[in-house]
């Protein structure tokens, strides 16, 4: 084992958080903004890059930090180390309603590819890098672009999704067609590509986009029911049409009573 071994518990239903238990001198790393609470005796340190043991010297750290910029993440992460003599706990919360997915990389082939903003926290030693989509079509139309996030190592990592999450195990050659925004992640041996929906009516009026993502086994995939982009789009749409589709006179009276008509 190159990564720190950590114990954990996930709490909650719709707004979850993960509580990580650290032995003395064990460390967990997390994205800035995911911290919730910690017990006394845990040291918090901002680190450059992902803190993985694969970084060699200053050039390795600069390369790792540069990769994080490409996937839209901060140059820095935060390391939480138990500097006491007894076990201590630190907790991290998901940023929007959904589920936290524990990933034991040692049982998943040592590599998981996920959407760019899915990573929440991990045991120290897990490398957070980038995965370039080699096929032009998958990069241009795959929903996640050319660059996705790559988690490598043999320790525990935690990602979050929107809504409910489905874990599906694909057999060799088995293919699953998925809305591009609904992919949370997949193991490194899953083949990822895109497929044209087909049909002029489907393309123009289907409302489901022009392309599917195709995931072909063997491997494990995680699918979310509510991508944050879909939720944000509905909220923006509601804000633009507020008061126009709420029942004419009764809707107007309701807006006035709510204070929106003044």
Q: Which two tokens stand for residue 23?
A: 């032995």
Of 113, 49, 57, nearest to 79 (Cα)? 49
Q: Give percent of the chain with pLDDT exceeding 90.
A: 46
Handedness of CA 111, 113, 116, 122 (dihedral sign): negative
Instruction: Enter the pTM of the model.
Output: 0.79
Q: Decide if 217 contacts 194 (C-beta within 8 A).
A: no
Instruction: Please give the CATH number for the structural domain made up of 7-241.
Output: 3.60.160.10
Domain boundaries of the chain, sorted by first residue = 7-241
Name the range with the highest mean pLDDT among 6-10, 48-52, 255-259: 6-10
Handedness of CA 232, 37, 158, 137 (dihedral sign): positive
Assess whether pLDDT exceeds 50 at residue 69.
yes
Q: What is the pLDDT of residue 209?
A: 53
Of residues 105 and 242, more confidently modeled: 105
Mean pLDDT of the chain, nearest integer: 79
Q: What is the pLDDT of residue 74?
A: 65
Q: Provide the pLDDT confidence category of residue 133 given band limits of 50, 70 and 90.
A: low
Assess whether pLDDT exceeds 50 at residue 242.
yes
Longest dimension (CA), the chain: 69
pLDDT tens figures, 88-121: 999 999 888 899 999 999 999 999 999 878 899 9
Of residues 62 and 112, more confidently modeled: 112
Q: Decide if 50 contacts 126 (C-beta within 8 A).
A: yes
Work out the average pLDDT over 210-232: 87
Q: Any bridge partners for residue 232, and if so which?
A: none
Work out the average pLDDT over 137-164: 75
Assess whether pLDDT exceeds 90 at residue 23.
yes
């Amino acid at each position: 084992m190159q990564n720190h071994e950590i114990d954990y518990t996930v709490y909650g239903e719709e707004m979850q958080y993960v509580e990580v238990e650290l032995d003395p001198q064990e460390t967990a790393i997390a994205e800035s903004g995911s911290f919730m609470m910690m017990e006394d005796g845990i040291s918090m340190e901002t680190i450059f890059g992902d803190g993985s043991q694969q970084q060699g010297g200053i050039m390795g750290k600069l390369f790792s930090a540069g990769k994080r910029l490409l996937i839209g993440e901060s140059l820095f992460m935060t390391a939480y180390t138990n500097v006491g003599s007894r076990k201590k706990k630190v907790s991290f919360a998901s940023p929007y309603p959904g589920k936290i997915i524990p990933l034991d990389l040692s049982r998943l082939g040592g590599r998981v590819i996920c959407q760019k903003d899915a990573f929440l926290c991990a045991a120290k030693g897990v490398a957070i890098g980038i995965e370039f989509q080699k096929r032009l079509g998958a990069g241009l139309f795959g929903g996640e672009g050319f660059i996705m996030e790559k988690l490598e190592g043999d320790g525990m990592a935690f990602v979050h999704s929107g809504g409910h999450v489905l874990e599906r195990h694909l057999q060799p050659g088995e293919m699953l067609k998925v809305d591009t925004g609904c992919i949370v992640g997949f193991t490194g041996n899953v083949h990822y590509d895109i497929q044209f929906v087909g049909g002029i009516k489907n393309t123009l009026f289907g409302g489901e986009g022009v392309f599917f993502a195709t995931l072909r086994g063997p491997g494990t995939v995680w699918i979310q029911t509510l991508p944050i982009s879909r939720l944000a789009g509905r909220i923006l749409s509601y804000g633009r049409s507020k008061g126009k589709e709420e029942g004419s006179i009764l809707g107007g009276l309701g807006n006035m009573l709510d204070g929106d008509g003044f």
